[in-house]
Structure 1
Amino acid sequence: MGQVSVSWVEAEAIASEYNAQQEAYKLKSEGDAGDRDCGDSGLTGPRSSCGGLQQLNKFWVVQVVARGQEDENVDGKQVTGHFKGHALPATFLIILSLWWSTRNILKYVCKKQKQTFYLGSKALFHRLELLEGTVLVGMALTGMAVHQFIPEGAHLTLFKEGQWNHLLNWHHFTMYFFFGLVGVADILCVTIRSLPSSLPKLMLSNALFVEAFIFHNHTHGWKMVEIFMHQLLGLVFFLTGLVAFMEFLLQNNVLLELLRSSLTMLQGSWFFQIDSVLYSPSWALAWKLMDSDNIMFLTICFCWHYAVSFIIIGANYAFVTWLVKSKLKSFFPSEVGLLKSVEQESEEDM
């Protein structure tokens, strides 16, 4: 017989139908005498129960085929998207998180030391903001180009042959576009002094909320584990956007800035985790995307990712603080003894 391709929903519907008919077959078979061969099913039973036995045989065939479809190795044909579509934003987000945390820690520590030298000068931070905007625009253009012009890309075609063309690629394209607007805002605020300095924070919050909205509608028709992992990612996008909006309202709050950096690093590391689950190498054990135990493990794994991001941000804080103090010692050797008293005054002000 040919292979039957059905979903678990259809298999369960056949099972329910069989269970409903089984009772009727039992009642009828009590009055029937003799057995006969049930034809192609290869089963033997009471005459009136042959239909039920054949239905039972059909159900088990369907069940085996459905189970086989769900347990197939994830080879890219059974899973939406592709490896590059997750690895590229993962790399960008981790770079951004390290950059943001380093810049914000440097700015905070220099201000706390109350010393004037090149590392803490406004000219340096204006140049860093201009560099950040340029890098953001470059990252956005790279991501947009990748999702359009790779072999699996949309090639700037939204509608093709009577249907939508590579909508997931267009989702990613739109997210990169909004992050590019953040870079444009950074550049404009540095070059046009009349613009409010908080505009990039507002644009960043807007880009993250757009990303969360797209990811909320990014998983239609996917498998259980795929949906769960992308839902967690959408949640992190929303929380990061909320923190960025709080930064827009509360200027120069280093705790909010570091929290945003840690959440951004979590986004990048979780993108890599998605890659390891959905596009695992051929020599590795394939993940079962309909197994609820995998969801329970990934819940714990998500928390581990967040803990690691905190550890990395904390280590970065310690490194930048040491770097600034060592530079201060070299620039102001006669004033090293005043550092402790200055730090105590700054802590009392906080």
Structure 2
Amino acid sequence: MGTLGWPEVQQASLMTTSFLGSALRGTFFFIFGLWWSVKYPLRYLRRKTNGESQLSYGVQRVEVFEGAVKAFFALTGILVEQFVPTGPHLQLYSPKTRSWTDLTHWHYTTMYLFFLLSGMVDIISHSPLKLPLGLDRLSLAVALLIEGLLFCFHDNTDAALDHHVHSLLTMAIFAGALCVLLEVFLRDHIILEIFRTSSFLLQGSWLWQIGFVLSPPWGGEGWDQTDHSNFTLLTMCFCWHYVGALAVLAANAAASRCCNESCQLKFGDIDVELDCGMCIRKGIKSSDSTLLPESPSDDK
């Protein structure tokens, strides 16, 4: 049996790293898409039922937590891209080779950087600083526009199939960016929120698809870059991915409706918020009021 030489082992390692990087980026978008697919339908149903117009303290804390998770994921992505064994380790230019160092890793580091800034703006927007309303959405739109710009000029080494799958990805990215830009002016619009959620789900699943197409985890060179039938199939797959995203949205929206109705039946007129402490305080106040004497004649 033959053994792999060092160049083959190095190439297999690079392919595995590329797949893991694509999977990491896809997981980042897919998790947020899943969370929003539950959050926004549930919040819409509660507002429709209770007529709430402003965010409660509990919901504001959830927004801060969401921004912190976004910033954490982005910071993790930056560290992974920079400090993997094949990463640049924060070195942009190599004096020895007189060339740029691993621009692909810097490419994704730049993308994560803007999502890190978006997460920080989310946190500050719900702090006592009181930033202008809509700035959090604007920062997310800028992050998506930067991501789309970077993927438009992604180094695909003249590989036609690589270019095709990333072009499909940029369609989902710019669609999400346009949606978030509209949310700056039309805040808390359920249709825009649902469309943004579907674009994130699509980005997440498609990034996983790109990993399997270009650098499969089991090794090999990936799909044939010259077979035009692969272009047709992947275009259809992109549409199927969006159908899957819509199916996830519908399922989670239905689950949110059932959850909202069960909470209404269980708690009745009690305003059930994400901040459970509000319900506890209401229960304490009501129990204290029942202990008060009804009239002065009860005192002996």
Is the pair's TM-score, using the shorter chain for normalization, greater than 0.5?
yes
Aligned to 2:238: 302
Counterpart code for 2:268: F
Gaps (5+ residues) in structure 2?
Answer: 1-10, 271-300
CA deviation profile, 1:46-67 (whole Å, cap 9, x unmatched) = xxxxxxxxxxxxxxxxxxxxxx
**Structure 1 139/327 Cα, relative in aligned 2: closer, same or farther at 3 Å?**
same
Q: Distance in 2 between matches of 1:107 and 1:146?
A: 34
Alignment of 1:330-345 (within 5 A): 330-332=266-268
Aligned to 2:159: 223
CA deviation profile, 1:202-231 (whole Å, cap 9, x unmatched) = 000010001000100113424111111011
CA deviation profile, 1:326-346 (whole Å, cap 9, x unmatched) = 001001189xxxxxxxxxxxx
**Does 2:73 correspond to 1:139?**
yes
Q: Distance in 1 between matches of 2:127 and 2:191?
A: 28
Alignment of 1:110-259 (within 5 A): 110-114=46-50, 122-160=56-94, 161=96, 162-259=98-195
8 A Cα contact 1:133 1:184, kept in partner: yes
Q: Distance in 1 between matches of 2:22 and 2:217?
A: 15
8 A Cα contact 2:16 2:217, kept in partner: no
**Does 2:89 correspond to 1:89?**
no
Q: Distance in 2 between matches of 1:253 and 1:188?
A: 22
Q: Distance in 1 between matches of 2:114 and 2:46?
A: 32
8 A Cα contact 1:205 1:244, kept in partner: yes
Secondary structure of 1:191 counterpart: coil
Instruction: Give the structure with higher Rg (CA).
Output: 1
The root-mean-square deviation of aligned C-alpha atoms, in Å, is 2.4
8 A Cα contact 1:237 1:267, kept in partner: yes
Structure 1 position 192, deviation (Å): 2.7
Aligned-residue sequence identity (percent) comes to: 36
Aligned to 1:289: 225
Aligned to 1:275: 211
Structure 1 position 279, deviation (Å): 2.0
Q: Distance in 2 between matches of 1:281 and 1:82?
A: 9
Aligned to 1:260: 196
Aligned to 1:318: 254
8 A Cα contact 1:81 1:168, kept in partner: no
Counterpart code for 2:175: L
8 A Cα contact 1:236 1:267, kept in partner: yes
8 A Cα contact 1:101 1:316, kept in partner: yes
Structure 1 position 251, deviation (Å): 1.4
Q: Distance in 2 between matches of 1:252 and 1:333?
A: 24
Q: Distance in 2 between matches of 1:312 and 1:284?
A: 32
TM-score with structure 2 setting the length: 0.80
Aligned to 1:25: none
Q: Distance in 2 between matches of 1:76 and 1:280?
A: 10
Secondary structure of 1:188 counterpart: helix
Counterpart code for 2:113: F
Structure 1 position 121, deviation (Å): 6.5
Aligned to 2:289: none
Structure 1 position 280, deviation (Å): 2.1
**Structure 1 284/82 Cα, relative in aligned 2: closer, same or farther at 3 Å?**
closer
8 A Cα contact 1:87 1:272, kept in partner: yes
Aligned to 1:105: 41
Q: Distance in 2 between matches of 1:318 and 1:282?
A: 37
Q: How many residues align?
A: 258
**Structure 1 172/285 Cα, relative in aligned 2: closer, same or farther at 3 Å?**
closer
CA deviation profile, 1:162-217 (whole Å, cap 9, x unmatched) = 00000010010000000011111111011135212311100000100010001001
TM-score with structure 1 setting the length: 0.69
Please list every run of at least 4 consecutive aligned residues from structure 1 whose deviation after the TM superposition is greater than 6 angstroms.
Answer: 77-81
**Structure 1 172/113 Cα, relative in aligned 2: closer, same or farther at 3 Å?**
same
